Homo-oligomer: A and B are copies of this chain.
Amino acid sequence: MGLDDRKLAVLRAIVEDYVSTQEPVGSKALVERHQLGVSPATVRNDMAVLEEEGYIRQPHTSAGRVPTDRGYRLFVDRLSRVKPLSPAERRAIERFLVGAVDLDDVVHRTVRLLAQLTRQVAVVQYPSLARSSVRHLELVPISTTRLMLVMIADTGRVEQRLVELPGPVHPDDVTDLRRLVNEKLAGARLSDTPPLVQALVEEAPSELRPAMTTLSTVLLETLVERHEERIALAGTANLTRGGLLDFQGSLRPILEALEEEVVLLKLIGETEPSTTRVLIGDENEFDNLRAASVVSTGYGPGATIVGGLGVLGPTRMDYPGTIATVRAVARYVGELLAQN
């Protein structure tokens, strides 16, 4: 089962050729386009071994070879170096991200940039509330029995929620509520808030108790339970590149998956280690995406990670280039966030 260096070189050549031509690659074409130093017949023998090991396959008997998901995996893990970005790309990134005025703007620009650079579908998760701290909570009276609760997080995220109070509350009481809530919660990590919110209710002066109870419910709901993740998407039109060859002719399952926030979060949100993650074809847990690959990574100011971003494309994708771009964009976004 030993794959010697030449066999690996053959696999690398197959992947590279197939990615660029989109057509099954044969032994003859291979020796012509790469300096392998051996004849087509030898390459054929190597190919036979590679096929036996499951790294490549033949779409049909008299066609060239195509990498399997397993082949791409080997290629990504051992046969490719991350391509350095071209100066043009670096410039594009900088130009694109300069002048962003707020978080929304940053996220939108980022997702468009990613889609444009990789020519694939880009996904950017807003900084996760779970990894944010409360900077300020604002209560704005809408009517005597309604408040607008606005939470501003240190990551720049702003969440609002209407609060329906059990009874009328005087504006002065709103001021008190605001003060109490901020005293207790400002600076706290959102994941640490539940006990604090509980304490808020218990410590509230009796006349504010009912309002505070309602408020606490909404706070917990909004900030913790229904963890309000947000996602931005761009470049779906790129799915139609490469005609109907990629994605075996049907975009349907892909488009369906892209509409599910839960799915997207799973794809790009789970960024435990700060490394780049590559999911190839059926490594993916969603059946709908078995024809696609995902390259994702975490981003955040400095070393901390507050969210994920990545791209989705056909398994036949330029992995080294895509990985490089995704990483670079994540790094730039991180720097941008650090400045705020």
* A interface, CB within 8 angstroms of B: 101-102, 135-136, 138, 140, 142, 148, 150, 152, 156, 158, 160-162, 234-237, 239-240, 250-252, 255-256, 258-259, 340
**A240 contacts which of B237, B250, B258, B340 (Cβ < 8 Å)?**
B250
| CB < 8 Å neighbour of A255 from B148, B152, B239, B259 | B239
* Separation of A251 and B148 alpha carbons in the complex (Å): 42
Cβ of A161: which chain B residues have Cβ within 8 Å of it?
101-102
The reply to whether B158 and A150 form a contact with Cβ atoms under 8 Å apart is yes
Give the distance in Å from the alpha carbon of A236 to the alpha carbon of B256 in the complex.
Answer: 8
Known: A102-B162, A237-B251. 20 other contacts (CB 8 A): A101-B162, A102-B160, A102-B161, A135-B140, A136-B148, A138-B140, A140-B152, A148-B152, A148-B158, A150-B152, A162-B340, A236-B236, A236-B258, A236-B259, A237-B252, A237-B256, A237-B259, A240-B251, A240-B252, A240-B255
Closest to A115 in B: B259
Chain B residue nearest in CB terms to A258: B236
Residues of B within 8 Å of A162, CB to CB, are 101-102, 156, 340
A160 / chain B contacts, CB cutoff of 8 Å: 102, 152, 158
Instruction: Please give the distance in Å from A180's CB to the nearest CB on chain B.
Output: 17
Pick from B140, B234, B340: contact of A136, CB under 8 Å: B140
Question: A161: nearest residue on chain B (CB-CB)?
Answer: B102
- The docked-state distance in angstroms from the alpha carbon of A255 to that of B162 is 34
Residues of B within 8 A of A236 (CB): 236, 255, 258-259
A244 → chain B closest CB, angstroms? 8
Closest A-B pairs by Cβ, 8 of them: A237-B255, A240-B252, A237-B256, A158-B160, A136-B140, A102-B162, A236-B255, A138-B138
Contacts of A240 in B (CB 8 A): 250-252, 255
| Contact call B259/A235, Cβ cutoff below 8 A | yes
Cα distance, A160 to B156, chains bound together (Å): 10
Q: Can you report 11 residue pairs joining A to B where beta carbons are below 8 Å apart?
A: A102-B160, A102-B162, A136-B140, A138-B138, A140-B152, A236-B236, A236-B259, A237-B251, A237-B259, A240-B250, A240-B255
CB of A32 to closest CB in B, whole Å: 33
Complex formed: what's the CA distance from A173 to B48 in Å? Answer: 77
Residues of B within 8 A of A156 (CB): 162
Measured between C-beta atoms, what is the minimum distance from A178 to chain B in Å?
Answer: 11
What B residues does A239 contact at CB under 8 A?
Answer: 255
> Residues of B contacting A251 with CB < 8 Å?
237, 240, 251
Nearest CB in chain B: distance from A11 CB, A: 32
Q: How far is the CA of A255 from the CA of B160 in the complex (A)?
A: 31
User: Whose C-beta in chain B lies nearest to the C-beta of A340?
Assistant: B162
| Residues of B close to A258: CB separation below 8 A | 236
Greatest chain B CB density within 10 A among A135, A161, A237, A250 is at: A237
